[in-house]
């Protein structure tokens, strides 16, 4: 496709970036550690660590991985924690030791965690104590040899940290009992002794930086192999998009980081892009607590925020949020799922800044398209292809379609993953021999190069920005005694964008929706658990007996359109 979108770029945004500007993410981060060493790098609960402190503590963590754990270059380290300052310390320490980060959702059930640990072959895991009881149940049959446990207040200073840890453990009872023999203390691991043990590792752009687990565009659990070159490219692409907008402007305040850093959107857009820009990441540990979140916003000076539609919508329904001072606020970036027009327009009305919608995938680190930063009002598109990115729209025969026709969106660029970990067949299904990634999303491109998502080619359900794969939920429900058939789809929901609905044919007339939901909660993270259950005598099928999820979605859409 001709790059018609270039004419719609903001002034100063380049057509290309140099993906080899840095040999690795480590080189990019170390440049920032030196350049901004006295600035606050990450803050949490009113306490900040400078770039220099993150530098030193991550060196110590790297030294521990090298000298105590004896991990060889390329081995995997899992990180399982919410937004706390221990996360970037462990992240950069792992990368500096030449190892690969495996991001883990701390809300995983033992079953879900076990699958990731087994597939990745992680040798070490860093976990918040609140979730250590889950890890304890998932360690069997994994290759994990070293466990590092951290408590919520470990980097909040001696007095505040001790108080936070005591309250979390003894007052709020948020740390279930656990027993993992020979687990290391995070505070001991980042001691000066380990800092002195760190030995820099030579890395290239082809080395793996992350195994980022996703259902992928074809469903099922897969680890997207994101190389240092992939990640550096996407950081530079996003930076090139944003820098002309913030150039010569005085940024007063940090970036609100409410989405979890283990999620690819927050990882790249917040943790890395704004690290390079020298801006403080204000980490929100529990964004689900909207009143608590807003109290934190009251205490902060913030200039930038990223999020998803459900987060913005929840904030807009909080009276105290509406009273905040937005005089220093510069821009908001929305991703993870479609931003609703009503939410975007209300956001602009309340904050005075436009909600800039973007689009990406785990497989692209994630950014593919972003709306111009100069955008004044919501336009319903996911934006323009970013620098060094090509797109095309193809039909079911992989033939490129004329401008304006809907078809599958395909992407080519330096941010496209290397492939799926140990799954060459699955990789070949989504990446062509000439490097085009098939996204599974149906889209159109207008005459100015703006892309709009029309529908999902696959059956992925997106709940509050997180992918839910029907096959996984169906597999769990199918294990319930009395369930004969099950189909799972996503249905529209004002709060979450979509929720999971299960249609069940049961041979047990006594089986209830409450029992199904309770069963699912044992094996599925909360957002994957069906919110709606409908019992039927039969499900629609093809002539060969395959259940037609599409027919069920059409029925639900008709209900909602009435």
CA-based nearest residue to 336, from 360, 317, 372, 312: 360
At how many degrees (to 10) do helices 86-96 and 25-35 cross?
120
pLDDT given at position 540: 92
454 cis-preceded (ω within 30 degrees of 0): no
Predicted local confidence at residue 219, as pLDDT: 53
Q: What's the confidence (pLDDT) of residue 545?
A: 62
d(CA 531, CA 10): 42
pLDDT at res. 55:
97
Q: Distance between CA atoms of 167 and 194, rounded to whole angstroms?
A: 30
- Residue whose entry in the numeric block shows the structure tokens 């300052």: 85
Q: Pick one of 2.130.10.10, 3.40.50.261, 2.40.110.20, 2.30.38.10 as the CATH number of 384-456.
A: 2.30.38.10
Residue 423's pLDDT is what? 96
CATH architecture of 461-561: 2-Layer Sandwich (3.30)
| Cis geometry, peptide bond prior to residue 366 (ω within 30 degrees of 0) | yes
Query: Which residues, including other chains, have CB under 8 Å from residue 183's CB and lie 6 or more apart?
Result: 132, 147, 148, 149
Q: What is the pLDDT of residue 538?
A: 93
pLDDT at 455: 72
Q: In the chain, which stretches have pLDDT less than 50? A: none
| Residue entry with tokens 């019992």 | 535
- Give pLDDT, residue 247: 87
Task: State whether CATH 3.90.1150.10 applies to domain 50-203.
Answer: no
The domains of the chain are located at 50-203, 384-456, 461-561
Instruction: Tell me what pLDDT residue 469 has.
Output: 83
Report yes or no: 460 and 468 within 8 Å, Cβ to Cβ.
yes
């Amino acid at each position: 496709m001709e790059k018609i979108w270039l004419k719609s770029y903001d002034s100063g945004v380049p057509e290309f970036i140099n993906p080899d500007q840095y040999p690795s993410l480590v080189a990019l981060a170390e440049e920032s550690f030196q350049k901004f060493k006295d600035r606050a790098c990450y803050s949490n609960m009113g306490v900040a660590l400078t770039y220099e402190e993150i530098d030193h503590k991550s060196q110590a963590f790297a030294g521990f991985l090298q000298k105590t754990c004896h991990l060889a270059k390329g081995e995997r380290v899992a990180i399982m924690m919410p937004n706390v300052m221990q996360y970037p310390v462990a992240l950069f320490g792992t990368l500096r030791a030449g190892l690969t980060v495996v991001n883990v959702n701390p809300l995983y059930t033992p079953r879900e965690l076990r699958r990731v640990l087994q597939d990745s072959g992680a040798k070490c895991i860093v976990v918040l104590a609140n979730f250590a009881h889950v890890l304890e149940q998932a360690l069997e049959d994994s290759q994990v040899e070293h466990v590092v446990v951290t408590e919520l207040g470990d980097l909040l200073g001696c007095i505040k940290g001790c108080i936070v840890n005591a309250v979390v453990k003894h007052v709020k009872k948020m740390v279930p009992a656990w027993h993992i023999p020979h687990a290391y203390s995070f505070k001991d691991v980042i001691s000066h002794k380990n800092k002195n043990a760190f030995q820099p590792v030579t890395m290239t752009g082809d080395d793996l930086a992350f195994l980022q687990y996703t259902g992928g565009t074809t469903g099922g659990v897969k680890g997207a192999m994101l190389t240092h070159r992939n990640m550096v490219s996407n950081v530079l692409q996003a930076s090139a998009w944003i820098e002309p907008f913030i150039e010569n402007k005085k940024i007063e305040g940090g970036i609100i980081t409410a989405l979890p850093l283990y999620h690819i959107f927050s990882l790249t857009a917040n943790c890395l892009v704004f690290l390079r820009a020298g801006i403080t990441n204000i980490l929100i540990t529990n964004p689900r607590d909207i009143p608590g979140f807003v109290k934190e916003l009251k205490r902060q000076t913030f200039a930038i925020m990223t999020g998803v539609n459900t987060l913005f919508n929840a904030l807009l329904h909080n009276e105290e949020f509406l009273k905040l001072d937005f005089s220093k606020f510069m821009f908001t970036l929305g991703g993870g799922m479609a931003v609703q027009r009503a939410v975007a327009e209300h956001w602009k009305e309340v904050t005075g800044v436009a909600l800039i919608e973007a689009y990406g995938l785990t497989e692209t680190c994630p950014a593919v398209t972003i709306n111009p930063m100069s955008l004044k009002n919501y336009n319903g598109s996911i934006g323009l292809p970013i620098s060094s990115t090509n797109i095309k729209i193809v039909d079911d025969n992989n033939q490129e379609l004329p401008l304006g026709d809907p078809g599958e969106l395909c992407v080519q660029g330096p941010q496209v993953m290397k492939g799926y970990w140990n799954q060459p067949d699955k990789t070949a299904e989504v990446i062509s021999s000439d490097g085009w990634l098939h996204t599974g999303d149906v889209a159109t491109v207008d005459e100015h190069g703006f892309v709009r998502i029309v529908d999902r080619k696959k059956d992925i359900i997106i709940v509050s920005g997180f992918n839910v794969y029907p096959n996984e939920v169906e597999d769990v429900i199918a294990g319930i005694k009395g369930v004969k058939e099950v189909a799972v789809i996503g249905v529209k929901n004002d709060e979450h964008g979509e929720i999971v609905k299960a249609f069940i044919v049961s041979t047990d007339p006594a089986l209830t929706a409450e029992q199904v939901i309770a069963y699912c909660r044992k094996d599925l993270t909360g957002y994957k658990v069906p919110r709606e259950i409908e019992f039927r005598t039969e499900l629609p099928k093809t002539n060969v007996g395959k259940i037609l999820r599409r027919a069920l979605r059409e029925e639900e859409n008709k209900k909602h359109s009435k």
